Homo-oligomer: A and B are copies of this chain.
Amino acid sequence: MNAAPLTDFSRLCVHTITTKPWPLAEAVKHYAAAGVKGITVWRQALEGLDPAAAGRMIREQGLTVVSLCRGGFFTAATAAGRREAVSDNLRCIELAAAVGAPHIVLVCGAVPGQPLAESRRQIAEGIAAIAPAAAAAGVRLAIEPLHPIYAADRSAINTISQARAICRQIASPWVGLALDVYHIWWDDALEQEIAACGREKSLFAFHVCDWKLTMLDPLNDRGLMGEGCIPLRQIRGWVEAAGFAGFHEVEIFSNLYWAGDQHAFLARIQEAYLGSV
């Protein structure tokens, strides 16, 4: 059953990458002025800034830091590479704690040519290695299953089912999932998988955008909600039925929208949010 239409922006979160041309302070100011209540901060938006001060600045504008994007990329051909990935993720956890993000999103990684089974083993090992630090810092780790189109080089975790298996293996309340409709909408078991995340208390985050029929770029041509074929309201209904009550995060990588006026884009995001999510 479809969710009821949304009527306000109290649960709307925008990812800084969505309005990439805006530096963090600009994004915060404009989101706040538009009535957006949540922000997911990408690491590159924090470069050169003091993260604790950035977090205070965000909260002072009335915004909630929903998440830090992103950690992960645990796979590497060498043990040294994998150790470096763990170190980087430990720094990411510290950064999340400093900025005040309750969780970090993990894009898990894949090494072109490396067997997927080996990448999957390395990913589980990497997450297990950082889970104690995450728990100690009070930062949750949200595994984001990525669309199979990215299996070769971005993430060998391509379904909710796979991500849940890692969660069961690690068995920490600090490890769960970030569900992005772009990556999971095609899954024929989607409703049941989302319900399972609810039962397992592992549904940490919900990202929205749309899947366009004609994609000009495999990575940076995501659609605004309503521009594509994802049944957003149905999926939100399943997510809410699973007990999720967090923010709806708008994460759009788009060469097209990044090239345009960001104020106009933010207005379109808000319109699309009410009309299609």
A residues sitting closer than 8 Å to B (CB atoms) are: 112-113, 115-117, 120, 147-149, 151-153, 158-159, 161-162, 185-188, 211, 213, 215, 218, 228-229, 231, 234
Contacts and interface: CB of A to CB of B under 8 A. Distances in A.
Most buried by B among A117, A152, A218, A228: A152
B215 A112 contact: no
Nearest to A189: B161
A188 B162 contact: yes
B213 A152 contact: yes
A44 B246 CA distance: 52
A236 to B, nearest CB: 15
A241 to B, nearest CB: 16
B213 A112 contact: yes
B116 A188 contact: yes
A235 B56 CA distance: 53
Contacts of A153: 213, 229
A229 B152 contact: yes
B215 A151 contact: no
Contacts of A213: 112, 152-153
B148 A228 contact: no
Contacts of A185: 151
A182 to B, nearest CB: 11
